[in-house]
Structure 1
């Protein structure tokens, strides 16, 4: 499913957080949204999954304005792994994953045998089937993120939105989660802080700065040493790993602010 942002702006109160974003994400593409804290990445994603309504412009799913769809129809098309969620605490893993079937139910209908089969396949796919009867609150961060991904897969939406899903995960779980995301084959919009993960796992990236799209392209095109210096204030070298045919970022340090020039004073002379 193609996702298109058509001159989208999002405001909170009198403050515009996202301004005039136009962006096209072809079906099956993994797009990384990159930028510093407060750049507008998460705000843009929240407009996709109908938490923040755009103050201008449209977000289109195969040409349909997501904000003109019913909440139920929108949830059938867009699945979300949000940055912070406590909704599943007190549930077992299997109960949390089955929540993904909610948009396919009418009223308060019960889970069907087909729902349970779909959820079981999703748990198998992300490797949490053996945790099915565990409480969500007992899981590690990596396990919990895999459960949330299983729930999103169970939803059978064609667009996957993830807001900083690798936060608080160790490097092994970060790589594992990104591999699982790529394997879904879904059109994916993912906000990331880890630029090296973006280099290795995204088809395209969009650099967000001050609520606008600064540049888009392949990770190698966008994440240059100059961009890292100017936008992220780090000195870095981009190196190629010939075995994996991917690039890596070697961080060398923080770009220090230039000191203010000393004020020049002149003393008066008395005759």
Structure 2
């Protein structure tokens, strides 16, 4: 008496794969490819927008220097900027240019370097020596600050060089170590607000007395924070003069 055989396909490594199993394995493989592609897309879609900051080629300008709280040139004439633009200055690498700017504070200067831009905040990485910053003929007055009152603002503390395009995204927790090194080196700190004040999203940070901020901010970079202080407009740049004791992680 014979026993009925089992005709179900069975995979053997050295044997030819049965047609029904081959079709199943191809289907599973294609499904995994689609699922992994979708997973990759979802991960990328949930990341912070790197922003539109970028190096925008070389530029030069003539304007009046304002060295405090951080070096800013208010443009008089330029091919890369509009007259009246306020341009944040930084040097090569993770360095500021405070020492160079202090020598020509309040004077008309000529600047040259790499143009940086993100949103309504404009910057320049200066070239070295006289190629990047030197006195120019003429005289001009600094724009008068316009007091916009006291505000409590929620946002993120970033360094003004990477944020404007030297690195992307230039913000967020993954950028914290880089941002702190830039700020320690003298790169101007910038506050990115979650809501606009006087139409501005980006603010140059200053201490309550209008001078440079202290290293106390380093513990609060790259995270969402809340801080109080006075906002003023200088040319096209907004300055947030914070009270450091009010700085805390946002709820």
Query: Relative contact order, CA 8 A, sep 6+: which one is greater?
Result: 1
User: Which one has a larger percent strand, Structure 1 or Structure 2?
Assistant: 2
Fold match, TM over 0.5? no
The normalised TM-score by structure 2 is 0.23
Bigger Cα Rg: 2
User: Which one has a larger percent helix, Structure 1 or Structure 2?
Assistant: 1
The normalised TM-score by structure 1 is 0.22
